[in-house]
Amino acid sequence: MPLFQKNPSKQTISNNDIDPDAVSILRRLNKAGHTAYLVGGSVRDLILGRTPKDFDIATSASPRQVRNLFRNAFVIGRRFKLVLVRFGEKQIEVATFRRSPEPDDDADNDEVGALYVDSDNFFGTPEEDAMRRDFTVNALFYDITSSKIIDYTGGLRDASKRILRSIGDPAIRFREDPVRMLRAVRLSARLDFDIHPESARAITRHCGEIMLAAKPRLFEEIGRLFTYNKSEEAFRRLWATKLMSEMLPEVDEYINLTGKKKSHFWDYLAALDAMPASEETDKRSPYFIQEAPLRMAVLLAPLYIHKCKRERERGSVDTLLIAETLIDVVLVHPYSTNSWRVPRLMCEDAAHILDSLFFQTDENIRRTKYFRRPWLYTAMQFWKIFATATSGKSDDVLIQSWESAYNDFAAKHIGKSGAGRQGESDSEWEHTELFPGRTADGQNKSGGKKRRRRRRRGKGHDEGNKAGGQSGEAKGGESATEQIEANTEQQ
């Protein structure tokens, strides 16, 4: 039986706190005779006094019935269909109540991956929908007609105690979908909740199955660990639960060798969390911060500095090549598949941002050649994070001189709409090599199809064939990196 709570003193939800468009969807569904509730993270955030990022709705109406009620709606999904209702650029998700599939009775429960669920396309009741969710605090429903919170799993109790508890047996639930382990880490860090001891033990026991999940989902979850200025706490919990040793083994090894809980690795994430949020949203602006490459650079910065120092002791070093190789080993190869690749542009920009730690100190460098690079302003923010993480060892005066020169250049030459990549996103991916500008395989880097010349008979025929066999070279990108100068800052 569900627990109903009507406007409790410490867990009150007002319809005025709910998005008006979500309220209108709920009312129209109810008027059409369907059960419809506000559901999930929005209810959880409202009872905790937080502002929800979005508002999701669960209903007894089928996707087709929802689509027929709203002209501004469209159906998406292959594994499980749901409806997105559009209001300008905003979209509200409306899903039909569903239930978890029955586990395979013939499966060997001790076998790795035996319980992994890759299909949940089954409609169900509100209670079944609540029981199939991951954590109790995410299984709360809110009925706007009665102003009641409907709790089938004890989520209100756990929210008041600030405990993140898995619904059902956590060992089974985490093996059904290993990404739930990552969600537990991220959500507990964001909400400052404690993971329930039984759930925490299950994560440690089954962390080795995390890589069974789809690689694009895992890569996306790594990015989400940086959100809400909680990256340090999220990655600390990722390390403590042993998930980091499976997902980012190079980073885990570095932390264990440099002090574990007291490793200076955590200082970089703390500095990133303390960085003020940028208000610039126009990607063409010279002051747009590319968050994904910046986060990748911060995550790998301690390892990168360590590797550069080690290579420097052996002689001259190509710092950009080290950055590219590190990104390739830690993030690209482990998470790319035959049908999906880690975003190429994001990796290229992150490599240049890491490399910028070395060329920024070169007094003889011609700075203007970097001012049109879409990653440079992000790199300057990275320098500030590096300075904070290393207790101000980086030269603040040097960073200010770069910023001043960049501001002057932007005002004179770039303008408001001429710096970033137009029509490109740091989250897009392409079926290309990671750093095509640095390969020497002779392939055409233009991305288009080659035109085959019609053979001409007669004199010069052989010379023409030889010329036609040559491949075009890529034009973009930096061809070489700056050498480490004597005044390169030591960490």
Say if residues 158 and 165 touch (Cβ distance below 8 Å): yes
Alpha-carbon distance values, 55 to 26, 44, 84, 191 (Å):
11, 11, 11, 18
For residues 285 and 419, give the distance between their C-alpha atoms in angstroms, rounded to a whole number: 6
Sign of CA dihedral 223, 224, 226, 231: negative
Say if residues 22 and 59 touch (Cβ distance below 8 Å): no
Residue 33 CB coordination number (10 Å): 9
Q: Which of 19, 54, 194, 362 is catalytic?
A: 54
Residue 245 CB coordination number (10 Å): 18
Structure tokens at 245: 């040793």
Among 339, 317, 311, CA closest to 215? 339
Among 68, 69, 67, 71, CA closest to 81? 67
Kindly state the DSSP code that residue 259 receives in the 8-state scheme. T
Q: What angle do CA 469, 472, 476 make, to 5 degrees?
A: 170
Helix (H) or strand (E) segment spanning residue 85: strand 82-87
Q: Is 158 among the catalytic positions?
A: no
Helix (H) or strand (E) segment spanning residue 398: helix 396-409
Among 133, 180, 138, CA closest to 155? 138
Report residue 234 CA to chain centroid gap. Answer: 13
Beta bridge partners of 91: 86
Q: What type of residue is 233?
A: E
Q: Is 56 among the catalytic positions?
A: yes
- CB burial of residue 44 (10 Å; 0-12, 13-18, 19+): buried
Q: Which of 134, 143, 267, 318 is catalytic?
A: 134
For residues 405 and 408, give the distance between their C-alpha atoms in angstroms, rounded to a whole number: 5
Q: Is 45 among the catalytic positions?
A: no
Any alpha helices (H) in 275-318, and if so which ranges?
Answer: 291-312
For residues 194 and 434, give the distance between their C-alpha atoms in angstroms, rounded to a whole number: 39
Q: Which of 56, 143, 177, 349 is catalytic?
A: 56
Structure tokens at 174: 């985490």
Structure tokens at 169: 């047996």
Please identify every residue annotated as catalytic.
Answer: 54, 56, 134
